[in-house]
A = this chain, B = another copy of it.
Amino acid sequence: MKNYAIIVAGGSGKRMGSSIPKQFLEVNGLPLIMHTLYLFYRFDAKIQVIVVLPSSFITIWKELCTTHSFGFEHTVAEGGPTRYHSVKSGLKYVSNDNSLVAVHDAVRPLVSPEVIISVFRDADYYGNAVPVMPVRDSIRERIGADNRPLDRSKLFLVQTPQCFRTSILKKAYLQNYREEFTDDASLVEVDGGKIHLVEGNSENIKITKPSDLMIAEVMLKAGEKRL
Contact = CB atoms under 8 A, between A and B. Distances in A.
Contact of A135 (B139, B185, B215, B222): B139
Interface of A: 132, 135-143, 146-152, 154-159, 180, 182-183, 185-186, 189, 194-195, 197, 202-203, 206, 208-209, 211, 214-215, 217-219, 222
Contacts of A218: 214-215, 217-218
Nearest to A184: B138
A138 to B, nearest CB: 4
Q: Which of A141, A155, A194, A217 has the most CB atoms of chain B within a 10 A radius of its CB?
A: A155
Contacts of A155: 139-142, 150
A140 B158 contact: yes
Given A202-B209, A215-B215, A137 B152 contact: no
